[in-house]
């Protein structure tokens, strides 16, 4: 089923990991995908793989903390493909640090993409999406990647929890704002558990200190989830596809938790 036929989608932080999986899932569902990442070569590689598989995509280098970069990549999407229908604010960073040891420079490094990037992307995404002619008969969709760290606290990642909790409540406020303004744009957040990506493995360094073997880290990650396995990037991509498509046309301002049961305990 081509659930995203005719829809133009921008996915940030999509050179690898969850972002790349989302971009590939969107393309497989018929979407035209604008792939962006601070790693410009990686973004172009993801886009090239989509095109090689018969999909439509373009890759761009993109610093999500730069408003000028947001204007440029959103403008490129509109110029090349005629508009914008779906925005996935996926780009972000992870840092495990005790609050007493954290420096203000580390906080700014973390909060830049995790908070400012989401705010700027949402601002410019809405400007491009709200075209009433384009929204006639379909909804725009903004999907913000938060984390289970935006729902529950965890020692030594308090600043990361702060950023992801901010994404959660920002998402709800934007959902209400778009509804009040009559834009027909929905906004929802996804809250992954521990996903088997570079960032997820970095998170396992805190949960399993001293365990260096990747296979052993994955075993520890599996034990952390009631379902008995670490999440995969495709698990999050399928959730994003649901929120991007008209299957979720009556869903806004909510959090979709994809965590193998961690927060159900």
Q: Which segments of the chain are extended strands (E)? A: 8-11, 32-37, 56-61, 86-89, 140-145, 185-192, 255-258
The residue behind tokens 């989401």 is: 118
Question: Strand 8-11's sheet: what is its strand order?
Answer: 56-61, 32-37, 8-11, 86-89, 140-145, 185-192, 255-258
- Average pLDDT over the chain reads 96
**Cβ-contact 12, 23 below 8 angstroms:** no
Res. 32: pLDDT tops 80: yes
> What CATH architecture is 8-195+232-264?
3-Layer(aba) Sandwich (3.40)
Q: What is the mean pLDDT of residues 240-253?
A: 98
**Is residue 230 scored above 90 in pLDDT?**
yes
Distances (CA, A) of 120 to 54, 61, 96, 183: 31, 16, 25, 18
* pLDDT above 80 for 206: no
Catalytic residue positions? 160
pLDDT tens profile 53-109: 999 999 999 999 999 999 999 999 999 999 999 999 999 999 999 999 999 999 999
Q: Locate tokens 């989302």: which residue? A: 22
Q: Which of 150, 136, 233, 227 is nearest to 188 (CA)?
A: 150
């Amino acid at each position: 089923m081509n659930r995203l036929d005719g829809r133009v989608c921008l996915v940030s932080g999509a050179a690898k990991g969850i972002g790349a999986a989302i971009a590939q899932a969107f393309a497989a569902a018929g979407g035209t995908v604008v792939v962006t990442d601070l790693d410009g070569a990686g973004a172009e590689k993801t886009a090239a793989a989509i095109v090689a598989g018969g999909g439509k995509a373009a890759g761009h280098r993109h610093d999500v903390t730069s408003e000028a970069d947001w204007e440029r990549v959103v403008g490129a999407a509109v110029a090349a493909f005629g508009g914008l229908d779906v925005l996935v604010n996926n780009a972000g960073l992870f840092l495990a640090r005790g609050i007493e040891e954290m420096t203000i420079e580390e906080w700014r490094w973390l909060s830049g993409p995790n908070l400012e990037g989401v705010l700027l992307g949402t601002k410019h995404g809405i400007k491009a999406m709200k075209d009433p002619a384009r929204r006639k008969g379909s909804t725009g969709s903004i999907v913000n990647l938060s984390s289970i760290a935006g729902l529950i606290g965890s020692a030594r990642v308090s600043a990361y929890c702060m950023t992801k909790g901010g994404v959660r409540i920002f998402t709800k406020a934007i959902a209400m704002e778009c509804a009040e303004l009559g834009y027909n744009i929905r906004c929802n957040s996804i809250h992954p558990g521990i996903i088997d990506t570079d960032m997820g493995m970095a998170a396992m360094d805190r949960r399993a200190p001293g365990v260096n073997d990747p296979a052993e880290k994955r075993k520890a990650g599996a034990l952390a989830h009631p379902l008995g396995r670490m999440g995969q990037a495709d698990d999050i991509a399928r959730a994003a596809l649901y929120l991007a498509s008209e299957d979720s046309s009556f869903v806004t301002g909510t959090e979709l938790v994809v965590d193998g049961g961690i927060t159900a305990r």
